[in-house]
């Protein structure tokens, strides 16, 4: 089979489709791979003649994926699609995107079985993990068992998706790469899924947590780091390790290997706060770990319980202090708007956030992920009335799922904006060049120069991590400072105006009541 694999362009490298390319090539198929960033180029490519155009992605990429399937449809080419957008809503998305064959769950085995079945004229209903059209209707086959042995899966075919061009285009302002002026980040998948089921989360690869062996991970890194001159290994796992011994082994072997490389190599990952201690963090830092992404979500015990996080506020407190003391950066969010959220629980979280500004935790509202527990709750309650409309247009919209009134909910959202502007830690650059910034860290007062920087807009505000103490702050220019002062002034003016308007209404109502009493008294007096 001749297949065109199309990777939708995103800021985070979509390594999943590169795994599909490897599986197809291993099975003997003729595969061309492109990154979709140009309409005309894709139209020209599809017209070269392929048996299938295959693509996939998340629900947030609906518009890009629809564009790809429409181009394939116009050229008369059959389509195959996978990823979270299909797995979360198979029939709905297959129909809306007009896909011929949809892959549900992990795709490496399913797409190979599908092509083999089509080539040999087999019965599609026997292919597990598939959604397909039959006489205008979509049929969903039995679910496929998750891949237990992740070591058996061939490494992702990054080379075919112009990976070198991607690496060359990276800048320290992209995501969390400012540890180097010229970052070259390798996307590593060391495990799949997560053993926890938070209400706001959905696992497209299934709910069974599986890990690659450290041997397999190191084998991939030993080939890829020298080949691509990698200096950052970004571990994409939802949870890098639920096993401390495995993590210690990874740190030891990663350090042993990178010590043999002539340049510095760092790594970052996602972890839970309940497994953190000083010894582990120190070992991670010594092996090259520069950042840990935590799922804090809230500092309120009530909200953590409602979210099914199974962590405690004290563990968040410990993780913040221990991580910063180990000179490892923190990437974390507090997400507001859970179904149990109140102004009181929100203020609990904001109080902790304000006391720990050096952690650089972001304040955001909760996003409803398709087929998560929150998504199902919103459908049952009628908060999401049209699932297709939601995925197409409202997937980043903040819904009031709480018992708060809309007025209280909007006040909470305004507070998040106010706190972010008013209390975030800022530093004015000592020098701004054409593609460089020199800043004095507001925490350790170290003067750091960042090169290859992309500076956009008049109101310059760039998230930074100090290269010495690894704490987060915002580099801003004078225009942004004027903007924040004006914003705060308008907020306070609105608040004062609101209070005055309420007082005015009360006074008028009071005077009205007095005038009615006076009028009745005079009327009674005249009648007497």
Q: Are strands 130-134 and 101-103 parallel, antiparallel or unpaired?
A: antiparallel
Tokens (6 digits) for 162: 């112009």
- Tokens 């699932």 correspond to 387
Please give the Cα distance from 442 to 440 (Å, whole number): 6
Please give the Cα distance from 265 to 29 (Å, whole number): 35
- Tokens 């002539």 correspond to 262
pLDDT given at position 96: 96
Tokens (6 digits) for 300: 């309120």
Counting Cβ atoms within 10 Å, is residue 165 exposed (0-12), middle (13-18) or buried (19+)? exposed
CA distances from 161 to 31, 57, 74, 440 (A): 11, 15, 24, 39
3-state secondary structure at position 355: helix
**Cβ proximity of 370 and 394 under 8 Å:** no
Longest dimension (CA), the chain: 109
Tokens (6 digits) for 455: 């500076």
CA distances from 224 to 13, 187, 307, 381 (A): 16, 10, 38, 49
pLDDT given at position 227: 97
The predicted model scores a pTM of 0.89
Task: Note the helical H segments in 180-237.
Answer: 214-228
Query: What are the strands of the beta sheet with 431-432, ordered from one edge?
Result: 431-432, 436-440, 447-451
Please give the Cα distance from 350 to 412 (Å, whole number): 10
**Cβ proximity of 400 and 411 under 8 Å:** no
Which helix (H) or strand (E) element contains residue 236? none
pLDDT given at position 183: 95
Counting Cβ atoms within 10 Å, is residue 121 exposed (0-12), middle (13-18) or buried (19+)? exposed
Which positions of the chain have pLDDT values less than 50? none
């Amino acid at each position: 089979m001749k297949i065109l694999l199309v990777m939708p362009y995103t800021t985070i490298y979509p390594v999943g489709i590169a795994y599909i390319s490897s599986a197809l090539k291993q099975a003997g198929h003729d595969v061309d791979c492109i990154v979709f960033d140009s309409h005309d180029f894709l139209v020209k490519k599809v017209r070269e003649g392929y048996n299938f155009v295959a693509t996939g992605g998340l629900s947030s990429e609906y518009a890009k994926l629809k564009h790809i399937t429409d181009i394939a449809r116009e050229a008369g080419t059959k389509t195959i699609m996978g990823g979270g957008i299909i797995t979360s809503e198979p029939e709905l998305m297959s129909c809306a995107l007009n896909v011929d064959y949809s892959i549900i769950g992990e795709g490496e085995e399913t797409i190979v079985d599908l092509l083999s079945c089509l080539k040999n004229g087999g019965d599609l209903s026997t292919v597990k993990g598939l959604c397909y059209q039959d006489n205008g209707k979509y049929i969903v086959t039995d679910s496929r068992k998750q891949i237990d042995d992740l070591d058996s899966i061939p490494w992702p075919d990054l080379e075919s998706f112009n990976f070198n061009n991607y690496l060359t285009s990276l800048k320290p302002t992209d995501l969390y790469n400012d540890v180097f002026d010229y970052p070259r980040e390798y996307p590593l998948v060391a495990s799949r899924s997560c053993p926890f089921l938070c209400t706001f989360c959905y696992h497209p690869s299934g709910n069974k947590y599986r890990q690659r062996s450290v041997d397999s991970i190191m084998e991939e890194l030993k080939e890829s780091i020298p080949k691509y001159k990698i200096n950052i290994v970004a571990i994409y796992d939802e949870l890098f390790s639920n096993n401390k011994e495995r993590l210690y082994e990874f740190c030891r072997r990663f350090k042993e290997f990178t010590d043999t490389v002539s340049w510095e190599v760092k790594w970052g990952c996602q972890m839970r706060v309940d497994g953190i201690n000083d010894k582990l963090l120190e070992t991670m830092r010594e092996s090259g770990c520069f950042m840990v992404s935590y799922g804090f979500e809230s500092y309120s015990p009530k909200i953590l319980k409602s979210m099914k996080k199974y962590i405690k506020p004290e563990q968040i407190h410990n993780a913040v202090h221990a991580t910063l003391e180990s000179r490892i950066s923190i990437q974390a969010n507090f997400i507001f708007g859970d179904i149990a959220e109140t102004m009181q629980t929100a203020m609990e979280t904001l109080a902790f956030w304000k006391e720990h500004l050096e952690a650089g935790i972001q304040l955001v509202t909760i996003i409803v992920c398709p087929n998560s527990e929150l998504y199902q709750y919103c459908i049952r309650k009628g908060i999401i009335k049209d699932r297709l409309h939601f995925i197409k247009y409202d997937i980043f919209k903040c819904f009031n799922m709480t018992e708060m009134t809309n007025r209280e909910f909007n006040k909470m959202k305004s507070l998040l904006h106010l706190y972010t502007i008013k209390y975030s830690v800022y530093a004015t650059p000592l020098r701004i060049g054409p593609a460089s910034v020199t800043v004095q860290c507001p925490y350790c007062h170290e003067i750091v120069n960042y090169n290859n920087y992309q500076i956009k807009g008049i109101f310059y505000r760039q998230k930074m991590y100090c290269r010495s103490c690894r704490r987060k702050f915002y580099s801003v220019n004078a225009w942004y400072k004027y903007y924040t002062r004006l914003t705060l002034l308008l907020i306070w003016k609105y608040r004062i105006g609101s209070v005055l308007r309420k007082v005015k209404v009360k006074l008028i109502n009071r005077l009205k009541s007095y005038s009615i009493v006076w009028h009745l008294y005079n009327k009674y007096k005249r009648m007497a």
